[in-house]
Structure 1
Amino acid sequence: MDTHNKPPKLMDRVKATMRVKRYSPRTEKTYCYWIRYFIRFHGVRHPASMGGSEVRAFLEHLAVERQVAAATQNQALNAIVFLYRHVLEQPLGEIGEFSRAKRPRRLPVVLSHEEVMRVLGHLSGSMYLMGTLMYGSGLRLIETCRLRARDIDFERQVITVKAGKGDKDRTTLLPASCLPALQHQISTAKQQLDYRLQHGRVPVTLPHALDRKYPNAGISLAWQWLFPATRPCCDMDGKVVLHHIHPSAVQRAVRHAMRAASLPRPGSCHTLRHSFATQLLSQGTDIRTVQELLGHKSVETTQIYTHVLGKGFAGVRSPLG
């Protein structure tokens, strides 16, 4: 039997389609999880033989039996719609009404400037710098982990966030207090690069097959991770590369720092970003500017912080004083 002419397996087609469309590795992993779950839920039937009624039953199961959050149910739906629209290229059909997971209206946890400084005081080294950037620049955790030497503009004091959420680029503030630490971080990256060049030329991971277009980019200082992993690993092609620090390591360090700071409310890395937004708004910064700095697609997402601020928003006071 000629195996060369066998059609690719469904999940291989899903992955290939997502890479052509430049979806992030995290989205690829998540979508593959939900597509596999959908197939197993219906007794390993091929999705091409199913349609809207099977999708509705699956979403009902997630909401009623599994009691997942609304965002999780929407994530599963997005993965299945992607499968039918872009991989199978067949109409999904009418899904109809199904039980929606309830979306609770929760305000984000934010900290005062003094509370943030207490948290940062329990971090050290690169973890301290990453925490400072999440608060001082409003970066998401994954955006902080993915910073490269080329993304820091010391002269203009801006950070360029490449391929942030939604695969969009943006620029944000670079706090002056972070400049010496960032310069030290780039010097350390250069020393580590020089060492790797002397001991096997291990390149850093590059986006979208850039290593084929620029073969030496992976061993140039500009493309080095500011916060690299402690050791190299193998990429999906089996090549030894250096990846950035894993987000879970940063989450763990910040969680410990939050506990050590004896905060009245639990927090996370995203709390630092929330606090960046509320601090800017309380100083009277225009909400559209805050939206751009945060990289929000819609200003409605940014407006949630106006509810957090209450009477402190842009100097507005209650008529009762």
Structure 2
Amino acid sequence: MSNPNTPVIHPPKLLDLVRDRICAKHYSIRTETQYVQWVWRFIVFHGKRHPRDMGAQEVEAFLTHLAVEGNVAASTQNQALSALLFLYKEVLGIDLPWLDDVTRAKRPQRLPVVLTREEVRGVLDRMSGVYGLMARLLYGTGMRLMECMRLRVKDVDFARGEILIRDGKGGKDRVTLLPQSLVLPLQEQLRLRRVVFEDDVRVGKATVYLPDALARKYPNASTEWGWQYVFPSGSFSIDPRSGAERRHHVDEKLLQRAMKKAVQAAGLVKPATPHTLRHSFATHLLESGYDIRTVQELLGHSDVSTTMIYTHVLNRGGRGVVSPLDR
């Protein structure tokens, strides 16, 4: 006979299983948010049926709906497919060969937006303070937006003139250059950052997020100066996974807005974003005669073919051909 005082243990919900598996695979919180959203939309689209009871027909119907009715971009449709692949293979443990045969939407091949040196100068001259420093870092090092946001104090090596970029795209680390013109501004930023850090220590809120198992391996590392973000948030926030209250890095949207204002003030018609500064970094290095393999290493591209797109940007007006009209 069962004991009435025994608590009823309910099995974890599907979306909780998705979150747990994503954490176990060390995926980012952004990936977790997107994947959970797509799994939920897939379930709701089919009348809240359990994914175990659905198959290829339902997945294809959902993806077709996104493309036809939702008019989503190819990258968005592929993200939804990736989330469903993860659900079936990693969470439900169901090997469905037909998922490998589902056609992914083909991304249109477009050249990146690149600013001229004069246009970059016009934008940067209209950005000051911490956002101006971050924008100059993006252009001066080729970092991605979130790589700049997540930069740690210990990763800036003034003696060697290098910046270590941890856990970049694909979970890879790499080293890029530290522009000499940014040495003094960065040192001043770290001086101000140290004041904030010491204030946080006094109120017992100096902990910072550490990747993977570092927090368990080094219990005191989360309060060390070296692990602090170079560009911190102006306030504390709650970690959505651990529930801890801590100071995170600055919100990337703030830099995006600051650059948008600078682009408009400079009178540019190009749709330039912070990522445009990375494209401009690569293109201007190639224009200066640097080897494409060097640029590939600085950008952190796995394949040189990805870096090759910037050679197409260099081929102005039909691969450098002079029009007969101009002769």
Task: State the TM-score, normalized to the length of structure 1.
Answer: 0.93
Q: Which one has a bigger Cα radius of gyration? A: 2
Matched, 1:18 2:22: yes
Per-residue deviation at 1:52?
1.4
**Are the aligned partners of 1:67 and 1:101 in contact in 2 as well (CA < 8 Å)?**
no
Q: Distance in 2 between matches of 1:200 and 1:61?
A: 50
8 Å Cα contact 1:152-1:158 kept in structure 2: yes
* Letter paired with 1:47: P
Q: Give the C-alpha shift of residue 261 in structure 1.
A: 0.9
**Aligned pairs for 1:145-224 within 5 A:** 145-224=149-228
Contact preservation (8 Å) 1:59, 1:98: no
Matched residue, 1:245: 250
Partner of 2:266: 261
Greater mean alpha carbon deviation, residues 97-106 or residues 145-154: 97-106
1:199 CA displacement: 2.0
Normalising by structure 2, we get a TM-score of: 0.91
- Of 119, 127, 130, which aligns to 1:126? 130
Secondary structure at the aligned position of 2:163 is classed as: strand
Q: Does 1:297 align with 2:302?
A: yes
Q: Compare 76-85 and 261-270 and name the one that shifted more.
A: 261-270
Distance 1:68 1:35 in 2: 17
Q: How many pairs does the alignment contain? A: 319
Unpaired segments of 5 or more residues in structure 2? none
* CA 99–160 in structure 1, closer or farther in 2 if over 3 Å, else same: closer
Offset at 1:255?
0.8
Partner Cα separation in structure 1 for residue 320 and residue 99 of structure 2: 48
Structure 2 residue matching 1:231: 3-state secondary structure: strand
**Corresponding position: 1:228 with 2:223:** no
Tell me the residue number matched to 2:36.
Answer: 32
1:274 matched residue in structure 2: 279
- 1:209 deviation in Å? 4.2
Tell me, in whole angstroms, the C-alpha distance in 2 between the residues paired with 1:54 and 1:239.
Answer: 39
Is residue 185–residue 226 contact of structure 1 (8 Å, CA) maintained in 2?
yes
Task: Mark the runs of 5 or more structure 1 residues left unpaired by the alignment.
Answer: none
Specify the code of the residue in structure 2 equivalent to 1:218. S
d(CA) in 1 for partners of 2:298, 2:171: 15
Q: Distance in 2 between matches of 1:201 and 1:75?
A: 36
Taking the aligned partners of 1:255 and 1:156, their CA distance within structure 2 comes to: 33
Computed over aligned residues only, the root mean square deviation of the Cα atoms, in angstroms, reads 2.2
CA distance in 2, matches of 1:317, 1:158: 35
Deviation at 1:286, TM superposition (A): 1.7
Deviations 1:64-105 (A, max 9, x none): 111111111111111100111111110234259878656333
Q: Are the structure 2 counterparts of residues 3 and 151 from structure 1 closer, same or farther at C-alpha, using a change threshold of 3 Å?
A: farther
